[in-house]
Structure 1
Amino acid sequence: MIGGFITCIVIALIMIIMGYQIHIKKKLWLIAGYQEETFVGDKERLAKVSGVFLYVVGITTFLLPFGLESIGDIVAITYAVLVILGILLVIVWGNIINKHS
């Protein structure tokens, strides 16, 4: 049980740090599939969208074990569905940003 809490906290911290590196420090190379040569869109917006998404996923990952403890398994299912939908939204949004330069 304590192992799950520690794992979620460590992963959440990594996600928040990665979000900071992308959003604030503009280290876009941390984004999977990003290529400087082929990206023609607004890099500021891409950094903001990706960074904020990682902040949100990091915070919800931090809260996940507490929700599992108090509410139950429905929290894990909801978390998984929302993260997958969020990933799809960020991919689509990133492609829209790249197309509208």
Structure 2
Amino acid sequence: MIAGYIICIVLALIFVFMGYLTHIKKKLWLIAGYQEESFLGDKDKLAKLFGLFSYIVGIATFLLPFGLDFFGIISGIIYAVCICLGTIATLVLKQIMNKPL
């Protein structure tokens, strides 16, 4: 029981740290599939988008074990659906931003 809390907290901290590196430090190489020469849009907006998404995933991952205890398996299903839809939305926004300045 306590192991689940510890795992989720550690993963949440990793997600938030990765968001910090992407959003604040502009480490765009952390974005899977990102290539400097093929991206034509604003790199600051891209870093902000992926950093914000990583922050949200980190917070949701931190809250997941508490939701599982209080609401049951439905909170896990909601978590999975929200992460999948958020990933799709983030990738669509990335493609929209990938145009010349």
TM-score normalised by L of structure 1: 0.97
Mapping for residues 1-101 of structure 1, pairs under 5 Å: 1-99=1-99, 101=101
What is the identity, as a one-letter code, of the residue corresponding to 1:86? G
**C-alpha distance in 2 between matches for 1:2 and 1:33:** 36
What is the identity, as a one-letter code, of the residue corresponding to 1:17? F
**C-alpha distance in 1 between matches for 2:88 and 2:79:** 14
The DSSP-based 3-state class of the residue aligned with 2:98 is helix
**C-alpha distance in 1 between matches for 2:62 and 2:83:** 13
Q: Shift of the alpha carbon at 1:37?
A: 1.0
Structure 2 gaps of 5+ residues are none
How many residues get paired? 101
Structure 1 gaps of 5+ residues are none
The DSSP-based 3-state class of the residue aligned with 1:9 is helix
The CA RMSD over aligned residues, in Å, is: 0.7
Report % sequence identity: 60
Which consecutive segments of 4 or more residues in structure 1 shift more than 2 A? none
